[in-house]
């Protein structure tokens, strides 16, 4: 998977930074919250029309996604709440950036950008939900072409190079819907007609 490959090639950069932060008592949850705040700021900046600046700041904000988990493992205290907080704030972060794009697009001629941004928001939520719901049923599903890392890279490219924003939104909209259905099929393949023994609604 691309995510695993990217983690391997960036490990030499991420690990020393994480070690430095851990030595100075920076908590992983603090990094998670700060990264989310930066992503919301990206959404505001993009909504105001400063796409390239938003893209540059999104690169910085994305670094915190890689750092928080690494810091938690460094100090030997990864927690269930930390993982929960990271997942929830990731959804807020991604939605904030896409909402900023939609707000910017509303001032532009045409409707494609805001429509695709909306589909991408819903699609990214469903990609994460299918994985979480699958895990709730006792199965793991991480398949698909657009996980969180890939979606973030596509967003960065589209913002830093605004002429590519519309194609990037097409990739996000189509890719997230495709990944959602891929994960639905993957869960079906694993559980099929197994009886539901523990009803756990969301």
Residue 135, token pair as written in the block: 């895990």
Q: Which of 68, 86, 90, 186 is catalytic?
A: 90
Residue 1: name the closest of 161, 131, 144, 166 by CA: 144
Residue 131: name the closest of 61, 200, 57, 183 by CA: 183
Angle at 33 between CA 15 and CA 17, to 5 degrees: 15
Q: Which residue has the tokens 């869960």?
A: 187
| CA distances, 105 to each of 25, 160, 197 (Å) | 42, 16, 47
186 has catalytic annotation: no
- Helix and strand numbers, DSSP H then E, in the chain: 7, 0
CA distance 121 to 176: 9
CA distance 71 to 69: 5
**Using an 8 Å Cβ cutoff, are 41 and 57 in contact?**
yes
Q: What single DSSP character describes residue 79?
A: -
**Residues known to be catalytic:** 90
């Amino acid at each position: 998977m691309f995510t695993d490959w990217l983690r391997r090639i960036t490990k030499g950069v991420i690990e020393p930074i994480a070690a430095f932060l851990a030595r100075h008592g920076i908590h992983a949850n603090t990094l998670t919250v700060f990264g989310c705040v930066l992503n919301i700021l990206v959404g505001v900046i993009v909504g105001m029309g400063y796409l390239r600046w938003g893209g540059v700041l999104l690169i910085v904000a994305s670094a915190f996604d890689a750092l928080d988990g690494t810091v938690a493992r460094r100090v030997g205290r990864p927690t269930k709440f930390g993982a929960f907080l990271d997942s929830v704030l990731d959804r807020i972060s991604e939605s904030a950036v896409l909402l900023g794009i939609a707000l910017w697009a509303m001032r532009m001629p045409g409707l494609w950008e805001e429509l695709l941004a909306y589909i991408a928001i819903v699609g990214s939520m469903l990609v994460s939900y299918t994985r979480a719901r699958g895990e709730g049923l006792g199965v793991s599903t991480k398949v698909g072409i657009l996980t969180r890392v890939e979606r973030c890279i596509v967003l960065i490219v589209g913002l830093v190079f605004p002429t590519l924003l519309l194609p990037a939104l097409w990739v996000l909209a189509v890719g997230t819907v495709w990944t959602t259905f891929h994960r639905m099929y993957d869960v079906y393949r694993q559980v099929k007609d197994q009886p539901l023994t523990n009803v756990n609604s969301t």
